[in-house]
Structure 1
Amino acid sequence: MMFLRANKGSSLRQMSALALAISAVFATPDVVAEEHASQSDFGGVGLMQMPNARFADYGTLSGLYYDNEEYRRLAVSLQLFPWLETTIRYNDIRPITYSANPEFSGDQTGKDKGFDVKLRLLKESYWLPQVAVGWRDLAGTGIFAGEYVVASKRFGPVDLSLGMGWGYLGRRDNISNPFCDVADKFCQREGGFSGSGGRFETDKWFRGDASLFGGIQYQTPFDPLVLKAEYDGNDYSRERYLGQLDVDSGWNFGADYQVNDTWTLKVSYERGNTLMFGFSGEIDLNNMGQVKTANRRVPTPNTRTAFERQEQIDDPQSSRKLRSEAWRLAGLSVTELQNVRSEQAEEAEEADTLRIYSNQLYYRDYQQGIRQVARIADQILPEHYDYVEVVQQNDQIQLATTKINLDVARKAIHNTDFDTELEDAFSREDTPLSEREQQGLYQAEYRRGWPRLSVRPFLDQSFGNPENFYMYQFGLDLNASMWLAPGTFAHGTVSGNLLTNFDDFNFLVDGFNSPLPRVRTYVREYTTFSDIWLDNLQLSHINQLAPNVYTSVYAGYLERMFGGVGTELLYRELDSNWAVGVDLNWVKQRDYESHTGFLDYDTFTGHVTGYYQPQFLPNTLIKAAFGKFLAQDNGLQLNVEHKFKSGVIVGAYAAKTNVSARDYGEGSFTKGFYISFPVDLLQTEHSPNRGVISWTPLTRDGGQMLSRSVQLFHATDLRSPFYKE
């Protein structure tokens, strides 16, 4: 039972009137209007200060800037699943300074970061509202921490919301906490935060004062304009650092003006005395793409430009023609061709299958290359061939074989059967390793040539620093790789600054007296030593020991901060949703005052890692690595990645080891977020490569893994494609 408190008179009457109005409307359903997923003042879909139960479209990445006299907020929200919204936010607390020491942080204002989560519990139906539960400022310092349950129902152009909040969202205290009837511990909520912050303080959730809140969002007849009104669950009487803010009204009013499909201007008048303004923007990570202008179309069959069918494929000229078109149109670097007899043709005079060993170097969608091979084979191969087997490789290791049934493929290519798709001709299987030893029609000579060079830009960013809120390092990576023997290659990266403000650092190593070896917190020393540096330089060898078993060994400068030697073993079955690997490394810390030297610290580090793609979470990869970290602490790192239709991958990780939160320092445990995006989303040519943008709230020494540039799970991705299509 929930009991209203008689001593809350005025606010209670206002809230009761709103509740009665919303209840009355809930009882009379009407036509549902198109949803306008408007960002709240804190980021994430909501009203203004208060949330609602609405969500953006799946895959929407939103950014928000909102400003007022006391607080300025920057937030990024992602609709990770249709039922899950996540938000990362920085709060600029304008009336206070970052620290009391001007030599440390100058006149920079106070900063706080937070993380929010909202889950949909019930999807809206004709009679029932949509219901959501959420946590604000989760695992932060608790300045804005709060929890809520909220329901929203739409009637034509009107969207009504009613909810209950705790913590920061419940300070108006206009209703008794219903969980007090469950247990007395829910009646009190401790202030502040425990330890060094950054912890999930579950012992505070849904405890202490509670408040009803609600609001209305109205889509005006003028499509770009949306109006809002809400009753605030916070009375702003206990703002940390600021005390009590002036409040003349519990009602807030606002308007959103959608400039175009991407940008929205926002303005509101809140607390009866404060004008706020800002803007938001959004992009669709799920459906984003780039039109390709490169002409790699296979000529139409039976036209003037069609390929000439070869009478045989085992002479050098015909073989060269096939390999040339496979490279030009399908992006395949062919290493070997074999004639094979299938079970149906064991007694035949001629082989009925052409096997192609190759590496895909152009398409991210490997099946696009297979489709091109099918069209090429339809026109070029002699008619006695019934099948083509494309053995996909990463250098000399076999990953998967796609078998093309040419009879089925021709039905789709020539439109003789409208129910047949080209993909119906494809099947995946493993080709025995022993088959590679057979004499082939063609085998590429393994030649050592000049190193392959590439240049790519990089941007390292850091937010919330004492010197400047935003610090950056923009430069170029010069990458070089050279194959020395089958499976063996040398590769390295030299990096250089073009534009940076990292030289504004007021201090280098931080002043925290950590009992852990400083394996990552010398980061400022590394970044300020030189404008040109050797990022990595190593020798690697990848091999396939047996079906489903892959190994690698490597040695050299493995990353910016460590060099050494290591090995990895991976077991991965074809088209399986799981794999398991183990890596073991001996590493020594690199000197931050020289390009090639080392410090005295060395250690063994390694992990047993499980990889799992659950069927109940499509397009999601879960990685769990248990072992010894760089600072000699033992524990588990959990990494979750989700891929959208566009190929963009969003990931988050957290590591918890046997280091206590006190010894770890601020943040309590290692965590971070990143976005991996296909390079071909940014260009008109196809590409199998990826770029990464990452964000780490705070770098400490516990729970830190070695950054290995060659990882077998990525190298064997085509066994069960995730990073490629």
Structure 2
Amino acid sequence: MKLRFAAAVLLPCSLATHAEPRYTQNDFGGVGLLQTPTARMAPAGELSLNANRTEPYSRYSLSLQPLDWLEGTFRYTSITNRMYGSEALSGTQSYKDKAIDVKARLWQESHWLPEVALGFRDIGGTGLFSSEYFVANKRYKNLDFSLGIAWGYIGNRGDMDNPLGYLDDSFDTRPTDTSVGDVNTNTYFRGSPALFGGVVYQTPWAPLSLKIEFDGNDYKHEPQNNNQVQDSPINIGAVYKLNENIDLTAGWERGNTALFGITLHTNFVSRKAPAKTYDPPAQPLPTSTPTVGLDQVDWAEVSKQLESNAGYKVERIAQRDSELMVYGEQSKYFYSAKGAGRASRILDNSANDEIQWFTMVNKRYDMPVEETSVPRSTFRNVVNNEQDLVDLHRTTEVNRATAHYDKTLYQQKPDPFTYGFGLGYQQNLGGPDGFLLYQISAYAEGQYRFTPSTWASGGISANLLNNYDKFKYDTASNLPRVRTDLRQYVTTSDVTMPALQLNKAKRLDQDLYGMVYGGYLESMYAGVGGELLYRPMGERWSVGADLNYVRQRDFDQGFGLRDYRTVTGHITSYTKLPFDLDAAVSVGRYLARDWGTTIDISREFTNGVKFGGWVTRTTASKEEYGEGSFDKGIYISIPFDEMMSVSTMSRANIAWAPLTRDGGAMLHRQYSLHTMTDGRNRDAFYENFEKITE
């Protein structure tokens, strides 16, 4: 059965007659009309999964809006009347094309001037549908007009002279030979362009909007000699908002071809996380201050409450003058302000009026990270609605954790053994063996702490369901096979040991952290290594370095090792960029013994959801790297706290790379000092400060 879907992202609208047109996605993914983009952008934080069908193309795309002026789209196109490869390898699978699109707003709409955007379609991959364009939009009541000029696929009609040809004759001709997977900047804005545009009409009926566009493509130059008959350059369509998260589209394109489609979408900034119905309620504040002496409090019981209700695994409770100190590790609440507030409630129910401050010293594997000090009276007044939250915001302190002279009131040794169970999932998309190869597994993992700073960790995984038996294609490699033996690692054994290692972490100085580790570090490599991180408290930058000696593991992921071994490691700088972007730049040696740089750019929203992407260039040449030319990809990281009815610090990390190759491959380390010291990010605490009262 063929999937017949198209895409549309709809934003909430008014029932008024002159409601503003909604921003909807085009056939390729990304805000637009049908075949063409517009200058409009979805709100920051928007994520859309789109599927559409316009014969002979089925398109499946993911669109992200990391910034209000920047849009990214990642797409697979199935050319259903062309085969992927030989029947022996691909069976009846149709040809799949991978692509990346980017659009940036250059000018925001004002009273007189239109909104203007610059975009690039299919900038990575085969370049079959590559195009560059400028487009402008202007709104009038319930109509939104767009007009643009495009080179390449969107402008394949090519019915006008290239205005850039007046600058240089080379712009008059568009090169046809491109490098698969490369950016191919030598084709940008070259060849004869065409105009495109259209209008969106928001009907008086809120769920329905209508589209009409003039297509800049005449379909006489389709990829793989797959030219289509176009009876009319006018495309029409309708978008229906089924509910807040599902949109449907139907249309008529090329004057002879039907369009149908669906989009699933959400916004990680405006959406509300589920109510934490499975969390224990926060303790109410006492009606009067306890009078019992601190030495008479049942601190063992308080410690249990701090773990069960506030998420702190208590190591020690102490007094320093008028300050009550709790030393421990936050293990439950993603928002540290929420944990600090709940702990303050518990301590307020236990301490007499000697205590004016509650301080929680957060430690990770016995490494002091940060300490949060809450003024008792202000906190109580805010919770009782007698003072504004801004007063508590101004007086609550988040500082570097330092050694204190204090009096120990209670000390306990945490349970050394912890464990968990879960389901795992991995996939391979868009390969010649099958569009989706997947594996679902069950795993058990555990951790044993010999001391608070020395621990062993590992797990066992059992295959439950997979179709990797279709995985027949072993891609050629001109480098050591450090990642492209994936098929053997997935299919050799149904029971595997993904990791088993011994770790030691320590704070070496007030802003310097270190860690050493050894064992079976990931599914493909065993070895030993270490990491250093310099991260000043409250600063928006840090720098780290890791060095590892590793040896390849046997395909069954047991205790055996293969012959290949290498030294790999990187120096990484982390910094905050303008527009709330984060950058991590790593320079060093990769698993295939190539040297190079990885640049990771991401946007993390206040709720912890992160959209990001990376690109790696190394000393491996395009010929050595093979198809794709260099390593690149995108990822989404979503706190489970945003999706579940119980608080948790865990994350769902989803990464997508066009190809698995050997160049630019990094070791997948289980622990990262930068992640372990996230409490040093004051911004994250204060951006979610209102949760201190929950």
Which band: TM-score by shorter chain?
A: over 0.9
Paired position in structure 1 for 2:276: 292
What is the CA distance between 1:526 and its match in structure 2?
0.3
Counterpart amino acid of residue 407 in structure 1 = S
Map 1:662-701 onto structure 2 (within 5 A).
662-701=623-662
- 1:467 aligned to 2:448? no
Runs of 4+ in 1 over 6 A off after TM superposition: 722-725
Q: State how far apart, in whole Å, the 1-side matches of 2:192 and 2:161 are.
A: 7
User: Would you say the 8 A contact 1:412–1:420 is kept in 2?
Assistant: no
- 1:360 aligned to 2:330? yes
Q: 1:429 to 1:722 in 2, by over 3 A?
A: closer
User: Would you say the 8 A contact 1:457–1:476 is kept in 2?
Assistant: yes
What is the CA distance between 1:73 and its match in structure 2?
0.7
Instruction: From 280, 302, 307, give the equivalent of 1:322.
Output: 302
Q: State how far apart, in whole Å, the 2-side matches of 1:283 and 1:84 are.
A: 17
Paired position in structure 2 for 1:21: none
Instruction: From 113, 128, 145, give the equivalent of 1:128.
Output: 113
Q: State how far apart, in whole Å, the 2-side matches of 1:534 and 1:585 are.
A: 20
Counterpart secondary structure, 2:224: coil
- 1:206 aligned to 2:172? no
Instruction: From 94, 99, 114, give the equivalent of 1:109.
Output: 94
Q: How large is the RMSD of aligned CA atoms in angstroms?
A: 1.9
Paired position in structure 1 for 2:231: 248
What is the CA distance between 1:496 and its match in structure 2?
1.4
Instruction: From 349, 363, 371, give the equivalent of 1:401.
Output: 371
Counterpart amino acid of residue 452 in structure 1 = T
Instruction: From 458, 463, 470, give the equivalent of 1:504.
Output: 470
Of 197-206 and 278-287, more deviation after overlay is shown by 278-287
Q: State how far apart, in whole Å, the 2-side matches of 1:539 and 1:142 are.
A: 46
Q: 1:498 to 1:292 in 2, by over 3 A?
A: same
Counterpart secondary structure, 1:423: helix
Paired position in structure 2 for 1:3: none
Map 1:22-171 onto structure 2 (within 5 A).
33-99=19-85, 101-171=86-156
User: Would you say the 8 A contact 1:143–1:192 is kept in 2?
Assistant: no
Deviations 1:607-639 (A, max 9, x none): 00101122x222x32111100000000000111
Paired position in structure 1 for 2:12: none
Counterpart amino acid of residue 705 in structure 1 = M
What is the CA distance between 1:310 and its match in structure 2?
4.4
Q: State how far apart, in whole Å, the 1-side matches of 2:684 and 2:591 are.
A: 27
What is the CA distance between 1:375 and its match in structure 2?
2.7
User: Would you say the 8 A contact 2:235–2:254 is kept in 1?
Assistant: yes
Of 288-297 and 697-706, more deviation after overlay is shown by 288-297
Counterpart secondary structure, 1:440: strand
Deviations 1:85-134 (A, max 9, x none): 110010111111101x2111112111101110111111111211111110
What is the CA distance between 1:447 and its match in structure 2?
6.0
Counterpart secondary structure, 2:155: coil
What is the CA distance between 1:285 and its match in structure 2?
1.9
Counterpart amino acid of residue 440 in structure 1 = T
Deviations 1:520-578 (A, max 9, x none): 00000000001111101000011111111110000000000000000111111101101
Paired position in structure 2 for 1:706: 667
What is the CA distance between 1:396 and its match in structure 2?
0.8
Counterpart secondary structure, 1:169: helix
Paired position in structure 1 for 2:4: none
Deviations 1:440-465 (A, max 9, x none): 222223664xx322012111111112
Q: State how far apart, in whole Å, the 2-side matches of 1:338 and 1:302 are.
A: 21
Of 459-468 and 74-83, more deviation after overlay is shown by 459-468
How many residues are aligned here?
Answer: 669
Q: State how far apart, in whole Å, the 2-side matches of 1:302 and 1:481 are.
A: 38
User: Would you say the 8 A contact 1:603–1:632 is kept in 2?
Assistant: yes
Deviations 1:586-609 (A, max 9, x none): 000011146221111101101001
Q: State how far apart, in whole Å, the 1-side matches of 2:262 and 2:542 are.
A: 44
User: Would you say the 8 A contact 2:238–2:251 is kept in 1?
Assistant: yes
Counterpart secondary structure, 1:441: strand
Q: State how far apart, in whole Å, the 2-side matches of 1:419 and 1:190 are.
A: 61
Counterpart secondary structure, 2:298: helix
Counterpart secondary structure, 1:613: strand
Q: 1:593 to 1:410 in 2, by over 3 A?
A: closer
Q: State how far apart, in whole Å, the 2-side matches of 1:637 and 1:90 are.
A: 25
Map 1:229-308 onto structure 2 (within 5 A).
229-288=212-271, 289-294=273-278, 296-301=280-285, 303=287
User: Would you say the 8 A contact 2:29–2:73 is kept in 1?
Assistant: yes
Q: State how far apart, in whole Å, the 1-side matches of 2:34 and 2:643 are.
A: 34
Instruction: From 660, 663, 667, give the equivalent of 2:621.
Output: 660
What is the CA distance between 1:243 and its match in structure 2?
4.3
Deviations 1:248-301 (A, max 9, x none): 111111111221122222122111222222222211122331111135344444
What is the CA distance between 1:320 and its match in structure 2?
2.6
Q: State how far apart, in whole Å, the 2-side matches of 1:523 and 1:535 are.
A: 13
Counterpart amino acid of residue 121 in structure 2 = R
Instruction: From 625, 628, 649, give the equivalent of 2:589.
Output: 628
Counterpart amino acid of residue 102 in structure 2 = V
Deviations 1:301-330 (A, max 9, x none): 455xx8x71422224x43234323322322
Q: State how far apart, in whole Å, the 2-side matches of 1:419 and 1:283 are.
A: 30
What is the CA distance between 1:406 and its match in structure 2?
2.1
Of 524-533 and 63-72, more deviation after overlay is shown by 63-72
Instruction: From 460, 465, 481, give the equivalent of 1:494.
Output: 460
Unaligned runs of at least 5 residues, structure 1: 1-30, 341-350
Q: 1:419 to 1:269 in 2, by over 3 A?
A: closer
What is the CA distance between 1:75 and its match in structure 2?
0.9
User: Would you say the 8 A contact 1:96–1:109 is kept in 2?
Assistant: yes
- 1:370 aligned to 2:353? no
Paired position in structure 2 for 1:430: 400
User: Would you say the 8 A contact 1:141–1:192 is kept in 2?
Assistant: no
Counterpart amino acid of residue 559 in structure 2 = T
Paired position in structure 1 for 2:10: none
User: Would you say the 8 A contact 2:312–2:331 is kept in 1?
Assistant: yes
Paired position in structure 1 for 2:8: none
User: Would you say the 8 A contact 1:173–1:209 is kept in 2?
Assistant: yes
Q: 1:430 to 1:275 in 2, by over 3 A?
A: closer
- 1:603 aligned to 2:566? yes
Q: State how far apart, in whole Å, the 2-side matches of 1:372 and 1:157 are.
A: 49
Q: TM-score, normalised by structure 2?
A: 0.93
Instruction: From 409, 428, 452, give the equivalent of 1:441.
Output: 409
Q: State how far apart, in whole Å, the 1-side matches of 2:401 and 2:520 are.
A: 36
Q: State how far apart, in whole Å, the 2-side matches of 1:227 and 1:64 are.
A: 18
User: Would you say the 8 A contact 2:382–2:388 is kept in 1?
Assistant: yes
Q: TM-score, normalised by structure 1?
A: 0.89
Q: State how far apart, in whole Å, the 1-side matches of 2:128 and 2:388 are.
A: 62
What is the CA distance between 1:721 and its match in structure 2?
5.8
Counterpart secondary structure, 1:400: strand
Unaligned runs of at least 5 residues, structure 2: 1-16, 689-694
Paired position in structure 1 for 2:691: none
Paired position in structure 2 for 1:717: 678
Counterpart secondary structure, 2:552: strand
User: Would you say the 8 A contact 2:588–2:596 is kept in 1?
Assistant: yes
User: Would you say the 8 A contact 1:654–1:671 is kept in 2?
Assistant: yes
Paired position in structure 2 for 1:519: 482
Q: 1:178 to 1:598 in 2, by over 3 A?
A: same
Q: 1:52 to 1:606 in 2, by over 3 A?
A: same
Q: State how far apart, in whole Å, the 2-side matches of 1:423 and 1:294 are.
A: 28
What is the CA distance between 1:421 and its match in structure 2?
4.0
What is the CA distance between 1:381 and its match in structure 2?
1.3
Name the structure, 1 or 2, with higher relative contact order (CA <8 Å, separation 6+): 2
User: Would you say the 8 A contact 1:227–1:256 is kept in 2?
Assistant: yes
- 1:225 aligned to 2:225? no
User: Would you say the 8 A contact 1:574–1:719 is kept in 2?
Assistant: yes
